[in-house]
Amino acid sequence: MIYVDETEPDGDPECAFHHRKVTLKRQKDVRAVFEMLNEIGRGKFGRVMKCRRKDGGQIFAAKFVTCTRREDRRNVEREIEIMNQLKAGKLLQLFDAFDNGRNEMCLITEYIGGGELFDRVIDEEFVLSEKACRVFMKQIVEGVHYIHSKQIIHLDLKPENILCMTRTGNQIKIIDFGLARKFEPMKQLQILFGTPEFVAPEVVNFEPVGYCSDMWALGVICYVLVSGLSPFMGDTDLETMANVTIAEYDYDDECFDKVTDQAKDFIDKLLVKDKSQRATAEHCLKHPWLNNIQTRRHSAGRALTSAKDNLNHQRAAWNKRASCYYLFDSTSRTASQLYEGNLCLSQQENLSRKTQTLFSDRIFFKILS
């Protein structure tokens, strides 16, 4: 059996290189500098390859994005600008960036070999406890607190964007800043991409978003981590989004019998429909659940067996989804599905507008009521 280290990690995860301000290398092919080894990930906005630097042998990750329009390149350039500001061990670090001048851009980042956090905890040999959940959640909150301190909103916090540094350690990293935006209070940011299970009510209701939108996602992640259940998941994405706007959830399942009241209170501070009343990252770091874990009752260290079983089913449900990203447009008041495939961002926006999934009067009323 694998027991996670339930003590506080000593410092931030190490990176193979010091934080650096990356300047985009234009008219240069990344393959002239790095040897591509194998694919390690694929998402809605690109694919990720494990690669090796030809002149030194160091291992990195290469995120490829297909770009056919100037707007596509601008989106990648924004990601570079944001990552250049994020000098923290709990956040994925950028090493280099290339634009081949034709239709492809590539970001070279540190390589994280431990896999996704949720894949790790559902392993048959892994013993999941509330203390372990607390260790992971505190690191995630600390990472988000740093992001917010730089006036940046992540906007895509979800389990697959939390990676473990190693297969056996307890340190994590937050990845994927492709949807992140600089927060400018004088400008209302309303048109967003999101994953139904993790978007906040203000996103689905076409209202302005802010740091609070990231905090809602943390509440959902914590709920899923300690129980293996998704608090708002419905039979369809539209039903899930409707459940999000209602913002009603419970702890009735027997899997919560082993979860402490402090953990539930932590979640309650985040899954608040009124975004102005939602806990900030700073407030979360002061919450009793993330502090003085040794003083809590013994049940905090018991294995969450039901949660592991639930997580396995939850993971299978996520994998069956044909698409999990939506474009929320406040102007047309629509939620448009983004489909799988190696499409650049602007191509996906155009495709989604052509195939918009408009809410019916019944569903739309349910969502806005």
Catalytic residues: 156
Cα distances (angstroms) measured from residue 224 to each of 165, 238, 256, 287: 21, 20, 11, 19
Strand partners, 61: 50, 109
Do residues 268 and 213 lie in contact, with contact meaning Cβ atoms separated by under 8 Å? no
H-run or E-run covering 234: none
Q: How far apart are CA 92 and CA 61, in angstroms?
A: 11
The tokens for 146 are 């740093």
Q: Which residues neighbour 16 within 8 Å (Cβ) at sequence distance 6 or greater?
A: 58, 59, 110, 111
Query: Counting beta carbons within 10 angstroms of the beta carbon of residue 181, is it exposed (0 to 12), middle (13 to 18) or buried (19 or more)?
Result: middle
Angle, CA of 299, 300 and 303, to the nearest 5°: 80
Query: Counting beta carbons within 10 angstroms of the beta carbon of residue 12, is it exposed (0 to 12), middle (13 to 18) or buried (19 or more)?
Result: middle
Question: Per-residue DSSP letters for 40-82?
Answer: EEEETTEEEEEEEETTT--EEEEEEEE--SHHHHHHHHHHHHH
Distance of CA 27 to the CA centre of its chain: 31
Q: How far apart are CA 266 and CA 281, in angstroms?
A: 11
Q: How far apart are CA 168 and CA 4, in angstroms?
A: 7
Q: How far apart are CA 173 and CA 11, in angstroms?
A: 13
